[in-house]
Chain A
Amino acid sequence: LAKTTQPISMDSYEGQEVNITCSHNNIATNDYITWYQQFPSQGPRFIIQGYKTKVTNEVASLFIPADRKSSTLSLPRVSLSDTAVYYCLVGEGASGAGSYQLTFGKGTKLSVIP
């Protein structure tokens, strides 16, 4: 079972780049890494997903080293509205019905300071 580990909290000033790292030492060959953002009293929202190397979209970048045992979510120039909890999810490969797990980390609470 791929367990994930993230820092509990991080602080950043507005306009700075923020990097949040997730460790997943037991990641399986066919697992993907997905990051979600969650605001209070709301469900998580998909940010970005990757398998290896680097993925970039309009809101974030995801860096995955060759061994895939960790991943780093990069948020460029954060604003106050980026204050939220960020979750790393490793999806275990399905080898048949009922045989896989989805493991969320406990999340990183990002506080953006003006």
Chain B
Amino acid sequence: DSGVTQTPKHLITATGQRVTLRCSPRSGDLSVYWYQQSLDQGLQFLIQYYNGEERAKGNILERFSAQQFPDLHSELNLSSLELGDSALYFCASSAGDRGYQPQHFGDGTRLSIL
């Protein structure tokens, strides 16, 4: 058990809709990272927050946004969903603000767009 909790585990929705994925980091960790994993693209870094502030941004679409709240949990918002957004979305956490530090991953949210 990594200590990182992601909800929901599965999400099924339709094109054009909006969803919110939630992540609670491991106790004591201040950084939260979001990743997208699809079969053809591998593990893609989306965005990192550290102690409530955006720290680094990867290949995150403009239709996607994230935030980290004062209690350090984070939410990833995906809007105007397309079929290609179907993927596993992982959240990870680490103690510090540097991305190379060991990250602890949750078990992901599987998003299916119909």
Contacts and interface: CB of A to CB of B under 8 A. Distances in A.
Nearest to A91: B100
Contact of A43 (B45, B55, B90): B90
A31 B104 CA distance: 19
A17 B97 CA distance: 35
Given A44-B43, A89-B100, 18 more contacts: A34-B102, A42-B107, A43-B90, A43-B105, A43-B107, A45-B105, A46-B103, A87-B43, A94-B97, A97-B53, A97-B54, A98-B55, A98-B56, A102-B45, A102-B56, A102-B99, A105-B42, A106-B42
22 contacts: A34-B100, A36-B105, A41-B107, A42-B108, A43-B92, A44-B43, A45-B2, A45-B105, A46-B104, A49-B102, A91-B98, A92-B99, A94-B55, A94-B99, A97-B56, A98-B54, A98-B55, A98-B57, A100-B99, A102-B33, A104-B45, A105-B42
Interface of A: 31-32, 34, 36, 41-46, 49, 87, 89, 91-92, 94, 97-107
